[in-house]
Amino acid sequence: MYDIENFVRDLGNVPSATDPRTIRAKSRDAYALSPLLRKTLQGKTADLVVSPRTKEELATVLKGAAKYKIPVTARGNGTSQYGQSVPLKGGIMLDMTAITGVLWVKPGAVRAKAGTTLDEIEEVTKPQGWELRFFPTTRKHATIGGFIAGGTGGVGSINWGVLRDRGNIRAVEVMSLEERPRLVELRGDDSRLIHHSYGAAGIVTEVEFALAPAGNWQEALVAFPTYGQALRCGVQLARESGIVKKLASVYEWPITHYVQPFRPLVPERSSIVISLIGEQSVEDFRELVASYGGKIVSESVEGEGPYNRPLYEFSFGHLNLQVQKTDPMLTEVEGLFRSDDLVGLIERVHTRLNGVGPLRMELRRWDGDLVGSGSPLINFTDEARVADIVRILQQEGVRVANPHASNVRGVGKKEIGEKDIALKRSMDPAGLLNPGRFEVSSASDAKIEKHLPTDGWVRRAS
Ligand SMILES: Cc1cc2nc3c(=O)[nH]c(=O)nc-3n(C[C@H](O)[C@H](O)[C@H](O)COP(=O)(O)OP(=O)(O)OC[C@H]3O[C@@H](n4cnc5c(N)ncnc54)[C@H](O)[C@@H]3O)c2cc1C
C-alpha cells in the first residue's frame, strides 16, 4: 500500500526494522486495560519501525514520510492506555526511545530529549536537589515526550495540578512532517498546544519541564471502618497546606480485596487512603489519620513497603492494572469531581451509585481547584449499563472523559481551539501524523470506538 522499499532506501543509516515480531510488539500500547479498546484496536499494526538516534535522523524519517506519503505514529515506551500510539492506518512506527538524554538542569527546571524516561530525568535532577513536580505511575518506562503528548498528570498533581496547568510544561520543541522538516520551539502557553495531541500536531524532540525541590517520602496505607471516614480524611489531607504530601487516593471497599498485596494488610470491609507523605510531616499525618478513626496498616520509606513495588504503583492508571489481575473485566470511566463541597458531591454520587461498584478517587489540583478524579469500578460486560452510569454522574454535575476512546476528541481531555487547529495544519499539512487521532475536522477522526455519552474535562480559566 505504501512505498516502503524506496522509503527505507532513502533512510540511509537510520535504524529500521520490518520483521513481524518487532512490528507487532511496537504497534501495541496498554489499551488492553479497556475491554472495549481490546476489541477495536486488536490487530492494527505498522508496516515498519524506525528508530532515529538524532534530530538529523528524525528529519530524514519525516522528510521521507512526506515524500512517499506514509503515515507516522510516534511512540515513546507505549504505556498509554487509550491506544493512542497504535497505528490506525499502518505506515511508520516512529520509535523515539533512542533520542535520549538530559540537556540541562537549572533551579526549578530541566530540559531533556523526548525519549528520556522520567526515571532517567530524576536520576540527574535528584542529586542536584530537584525532582519532578508530578509523574504518571508508569514513570519507570514513560518518556517525557510520550507523557507530554499522551498523559495528564499523576503523583504530585495534588500540589502542582496537571500538565495543562500553566507553568508545568515550560517549553516544547517539535518537528514538522514536511519535505523540509522544521523545528519549532513553543514556549509558555503555546507549549500546551502539544499536550494531549497524541503526536498528531508535531513530533516532540525536546521538553523543558518545571521541577520541585526534592523530598524524602514515606508511604502509608491507612484503613478506615467506613467509606465516609476514608473520604473525609483523604480530602482533609489534600487540603492541609502544612502537611507535605504527594499522593492521597481514597478507595472504597472491596477495592482492597481485588488488589492482592493489600488483602493481608487491610481488615475486611475497610476502605483505604493511600498516601505519600514528606518525612517531616509524618507526625502530623498520624494525628490527622487518628482524628478520622483511621489505622495505618503499613508505613515505610518510599518503595520499601511490603508490596514488591512502590505504593504509588497502586494509584492513578495503575489501580486498574492491579485490580484487573483479579478481574480482567473491571474497568472505569473518568469522572472529574469539582465542587466547593467536594465531600458532599462525592457522597451524593456514592449514594446514587449504591451497588454499582466501589468508588476510586484520586485527589489532585486541576485548574487551581482541589478536585477528585474517579469512577466506580464497573464490570464492562454491558455497554448500555456503563452509559447509564455516565448519565448518573453527569446529572450530579461530574464531567466525564472516556478512557474507552482512542482519539483526542473522543477521550475529551483536551479542549481544541483555533490555535490547536492552526498548529496541526502548519506542522502536518498532509495529515500524515497519527491519522484518525486528531484531524482538522472532527468528521475525519477515526470512528472505531463505541461512544459513551461523555462530555470531557474542561477548564474554567484559559
Ligand atoms: C498502568 C498505567 C498507569 C498509568 N498512569 C498514568 C498516570 O498516572 N498519569 C498519566 O498521565 N498517564 C498514565 N498512564 C498513561 C501513560 O503511561 C502515560 O501517559 C505515559 O506518560 C506515556 O508515556 P510513553 O512514553 O509510554 O508514551 P506512548 O504511550 O508511547 O505515547 C503516548 C502518546 O504520545 C505520542 N508520542 C509519544 N512520543 C512522542 C513524541 N516524541 N512526539 C509526539 N508524540 C509522541 C504517541 O503517539 C501517543 O499518542 C498510565 C498507563 C498505564 C498503562
Nearest atom of ligand 1 to the alpha carbon of 99: 41
Report the nearest-CA residue for atom 37 of ligand 1.
146
Q: Omega of the bond prior to 358 within 30 degrees of 0, cis?
A: no
Nearest atom of ligand 1 to the alpha carbon of 145: 41
Contact 155, 135 (CB under 8 A): yes
Number of residues that make up the chain: 462
Contact 194, 164 (CB under 8 A): no
pLDDT at 451: 67
Q: How far is the CA of 451 from the centre of ligand 1 (A)?
A: 22
Q: How far is the CA of 183 from the centre of ligand 1 (A)?
A: 22
Report the nearest-CA residue for atom 38 of ligand 1.
146
Q: How far is the CA of 233 from the centre of ligand 1 (A)?
A: 31
Q: How far is the CA of 422 from the centre of ligand 1 (A)?
A: 24
What HEC string does the chain produce?
CCCHHHHHHHHCCCCEECCHHHHHHHCCCCHHHCHHHHHHHCCCCCCEEECCCCHHHHHHHHHHHHHHCCCEEEECCCCCCCCCCCCCCCCEEEECCCCCCEEEEECCEEEEECCCEHHHHHHHHHHHCEEECCECCCCCCCEHHHHHHHCCCCECHHHHCCCCCCCCEEEEEEECCCCCCCEEEEEHHHHHHCCCCCCCCCEEEEEEEEEEECCCEEEEEEEECCHHHHHHHHHHHHHCCCCCEEEEEEECCCHHHHCHHHCCCCCCCCEEEEEEEEHHHHHHHHHHHHHCCCEEEEEEECCCCCCCCCHHHHCHHHHHHHHHCCCCCEECCEEEECCCCHHHHHHHHHHHCCCCCCEEEEEEEECCEEEEEEEECEECCCHHHHHHHHHHHHHCCCEEECCCCCCHHHHCCCCCCHHHHHHHHHHCCCCCECCCCCCCCHHHCCCCCCCCCCCCCCCCCC
Side-chain-facing half-sphere of 5: CA atoms under 13 Å: 1
pLDDT at 461: 57
Q: How far is the CA of 160 from the centre of ligand 1 (A)?
A: 19
Is the CB of residue 82 below 6 angstroms from any atom belonging to ligand 1?
A: no
Q: Ligand 1, residues 38, 80, 409: which to mutate, most atoms within 8 A of Cβ? A: 80
Contact 152, 196 (CB under 8 A): yes
What CA–CA distance (Å, rounded) separates 267 from 297? 9
Residue 357 corresponds to which cell in the numbers above?
Answer: 461498584
pLDDT at 75: 97
Q: How far is the CA of 73 from the centre of ligand 1 (A)?
A: 13
Contact 4, 47 (CB under 8 A): yes
Residue 424 corresponds to which cell in the numbers above?
Answer: 496541526
What CA–CA distance (Å, rounded) separates 26 from 86? 8
Q: What order do you get walking across the sheet with 48-50 strand by strand?
A: 16-17, 48-50, 92-95, 72-75
Backbone dihedral angles phi then psi of residue 401, each to the nearest 5 degrees = -100, 165
What CA–CA distance (Å, rounded) separates 100 from 440? 31
Q: Which residue has the cell 500500500?
A: 1
Contact 319, 256 (CB under 8 A): no
Instruction: Enumerate residues 6+ apart whose C-beta is below 8 A from 21.
Output: none
Q: pLDDT tens track of the chain, all 462 residues? A: 899 999 999 999 999 999 999 999 999 888 878 888 888 888 899 999 999 999 999 999 999 999 999 999 999 999 998 889 999 999 999 999 999 999 999 999 999 999 999 999 999 999 999 999 999 999 999 999 999 999 999 999 999 999 999 999 999 999 999 999 999 999 999 999 999 999 999 999 999 999 999 999 999 999 999 999 999 999 999 999 999 999 999 999 999 999 999 999 999 999 999 999 999 999 999 999 999 999 999 999 999 999 999 999 999 999 999 999 999 888 899 999 999 999 999 999 999 998 899 999 999 999 999 999 999 999 877 778 888 999 999 999 999 998 888 899 988 888 899 999 999 999 999 999 999 999 998 888 887 666 678 788 887 755
Is the CB of residue 436 below 6 angstroms from any atom belonging to ligand 1?
A: no
Contact 114, 207 (CB under 8 A): yes
Is the CB of residue 249 below 6 angstroms from any atom belonging to ligand 1?
A: no
pLDDT at 310: 97
pLDDT at 33: 81
